Amino acid sequence: MTVLGYLANGLVFSSIIVLGSIGLSLVYSIADFANFAHGDTMTIGAYAALVTFGAVGGLGGAVLGLPFGFFFALVVGIAAAAVVAVATEKLIYEPLDIDSIGLLITSIGIAFIYRALIQIRFGSDFTRFDIRAQRPIESLVPYGVRVTLHDVAIVGSAVVLVVGLHVLLQYTDLGRKMRAMADNPDLARVSGIRTKRVKLWTWVIGAGLAGAGGVFLGLFNQLAPRMGFNLLLVIFAAVILGGIGSVYGAMAGGFLIGMINQLTPFFSTVVEALPIWPGWLAAALESLISIEYANAIAFVIMVAVLLVRPNGIAGEAAT
Amino acid sequence: MSALTDPKGAIAELTRPEGWVLGVSVAFLLFLLAALLTGALGPTYFLFLVGLAGMYALLSFGLNAQWGFTGLINFSVAAFFGIGAYGSALMTASGSPIAGGFNPLVGLAVALVVALALALLIGIPTLRLRADYLAIASLGLAEVMRLIVLNERWLTNGSAGVRGIPGFFKGWPVLSTFPEAMPGLRLEIVPGSPIFLEASFWQALLNVLLVLAFAGGTYLVLRRAHRSPWGRVLRTIRSDEDLARALGKNTYSFKMQSFVLGSLIMALAGVFYTHLNLYVGPGDLDPITTFYAWVAVILGGSGSNRGALFGGVVIVTIREGTRFLNDVALPIDPAPLRLLLIGVVIVAVMRYRPQGILPPQRELIWPSAVDGGGAPETPDSGVRERKGGGGDE
């Protein structure tokens, strides 16, 4: 594959990571804790869509190689993730009388409950959406870009969702309230914003985006109960790179981390070509920069960001 | 904490959960004893479970030294445990892809040194920052460790794991041949169901003694450390880091010490596990190990070593109980069931009893201060407590 091909793959994977990291960052800044159940919220979206798609079928026509039924399933997946997140907030998080660290630990428990229930219901094996795999788009193959119509659909939907979120944050009343709350929750409350309601809307939006990311991840790879938890590390890396609490930082961070993740094979060919001295260093780099360690590279970037610039690209003070 | 505002009520409240824990433990022991005597539970397997409980208690002590003492959120317990397990396995096993065949004491030393290096490596970037950064970074560290163990076949044998691990006492004067030297015994306590005690039983007994030594030593060290001035600084950091800094303490250094101490204890648990199980594989580094330790610590009571001990027993019950349930009653895959139980326990504890079942209250006070009726020495006891509660204690 050429550089262009890797970049195209990176764009697709980035869209998924961006959807996940925006939600995580929103919840982080407004509900004020690191939600470790975010990855499993993605899994919920994916499996809800799987069940819906299995039930309603194709519904006639198709856009971009995806039947109408799939788009319906996508909406159901988004809704399911949002409903589950709101129910969790109402039943579990809201009655808790603990600090943000306690909430963080609780969210790990929630993550396990989500995953265990999915695993009990669907088993731990991989599954796929019942959609025929597409051939790469012919006109792009000469450039070494092997993307399918499905990939185009993923990127397009992600762009629509991200632009929608941008409009919501900048130009609507709810968006202004959310930004006010992220800035200073006490001040927001004093000025008459119903913070509880805004928090619920934050959960709806954050978990909804996560659900969409989960559905697309299932379309891009496969579905498995661990899919969300496995992606959590990458999403956290994106959020920290972007700066905790900044939605636009999360978009940038998600984009970069997703790109780097998919460009790993390209980097390994670069390392092989470079004359690195001494020899053992070259060998070590060659074995470490490989597809198996794509997630580990995200981790290394995260640690480096924490060392050099803990508040990330666009975040507030971290200490 | 209610102990600060109402010591009388706190003591009355304290004895009730303690009584409960005691009652449940005694009932559980009697149940196990009955199972042992009737032959339903093999004595070797029973001792293996005791060893496992000791191992989890040790793991929980390690986490308690980090989370319970200082408030550090470490989600890579499995990684440090894995370092201990793989470090000693790779040095001692006959099936090791590198070196191998060394004395288990060499393995112990190597495992601890590697764990120390790793703890420093992850502590340096994160311990200066807010507590949740350590949580995120350590979760990542655990995943990276798992990936490395899975993929670097030349070092770790990959997914096949390491076999041919000797017992911990290999090469020791008397103890290495102790299991073979002991006679095979045949006990018949309940007529018709005899119990055999053979070499494997004596081997398991040795393991239990080893973990008792490890856990007992760690317990004593931690209890002493927690009450010492050093421990008091850690407790101050846990409740208010800015305060500790305002008092002139280098909180970064104290946090690092606590993190390293806990990580070494976790590696010690890993070393023991290697010589108990005689096989290590990448599955042992699964994140679930981390959260077993977390459940043990928050259920027992963060900061409470007794609680961690109790939590260790609960974990073995969850682990083996789900397997038993799967074999006997419900055909549910034990893996998601364990996950579900762990999740439910975490949420339930945080919801209904965030301080845990056995919160550290009297543990933190020097016994002389309690028995002699003197003023409590702990710095976190307020003036009101000294005035109101001094006479009762």
3-state secondary structure A137-199: CHHHHHHCCCCCHHHHHHHHHHHHHHHHHHHHHHHCHHHHHHHHHHHCHHHHHHCCCCHHHHH
Q: Are strands A66-67 and A62-63 parallel, antiparallel or unpaired?
A: antiparallel
Is B330 touching A (CB cutoff 8 A)? no
Tens-digit pLDDT profile for residues A199-225? 999 999 999 999 999 999 999 888 999
A119 contacts in chain B (CB < 8 Å): 333, 335-336, 339
Check if B198 contacts A (Cβ < 8 Å).
Answer: no
Angstrom distance (rounded) from CA A315 to CA A3: 31
Q: Which residues in A lie closer than 8 A to residue B140 (C-beta atoms)?
A: 233, 236-237, 298-299, 302-303
According to CATH, what is the number of the domain B13-370? 1.10.3470
- B residues 42..81 contacting A (CB < 8 A): 71, 73, 75
**A293 touches B at CB < 8 Å:** yes
Q: Where are the alpha helices (DSSP H) in B158-227?
A: 178-181, 199-227
Q: How far apart are the first and last CA of chain B?
A: 18
Contact check, Cβ <8 Å, A109/B141: no
Other Cβ atoms closer than 10 A to B289:
26
Show me where the domains of chain B are located: 13-370
Number of A/B CB contacts below 8 angstroms equals 137
Residue B378's region, left for phi above 0, alpha for psi from -120 to 50, else beta, is: beta
The answer to whether ipTM exceeds 0.85 is: yes
The Cα B101–Cα A23 span in angstroms is 51
Distance between CA atoms of residues B141 and A64, nearest Å: 39
Asked whether the beta carbons of residue A96 and residue B351 sit closer than 8 angstroms, the reply is: yes
Check: CB of residue B339 under 8 Å from CB of residue A116: yes
Place of tokens 């070590």: A284
Question: How would you write the pLDDT of chain B (393 residues) with one tens digit per residue?
Answer: 444 555 555 445 556 777 787 778 788 888 888 877 776 777 888 888 889 889 999 999 999 999 989 999 999 999 999 999 999 999 888 877 777 778 888 889 999 999 999 999 889 888 988 888 888 888 888 888 888 888 888 888 878 888 888 888 877 776 777 776 777 666 666 666 666 667 778 888 888 999 999 999 999 999 899 889 999 999 999 888 999 999 999 999 999 999 999 999 999 999 999 998 888 988 888 888 899 999 889 888 888 888 888 888 888 888 888 887 777 766 677 888 888 999 999 999 998 888 888 877 666 666 666 554 444 455 555 555 555 444 443
Say what percent of chain A tops pLDDT 70.
Answer: 97
Q: List pLDDT tens digits, range A82-127.
A: 999 999 999 999 888 888 888 999 999 999 999 999 999 998 888 8
The number of beta carbons lying within 10 Å of the beta carbon of residue B302 is 24
Q: What kind and span of H or E run contains A67?
A: strand A66-67
CA B336-B338-B344 angle, 5° bins: 100
Mutation target among B136, B156, B242, B342 for the A interface, most CBs of A within 10 A:
B136
Query: What DSSP character marks residue B276?
Result: H
Token pair in block for residue B204:
């398991």
Q: From CA A81, how far away is CA A311, in angstroms rounded?
A: 29
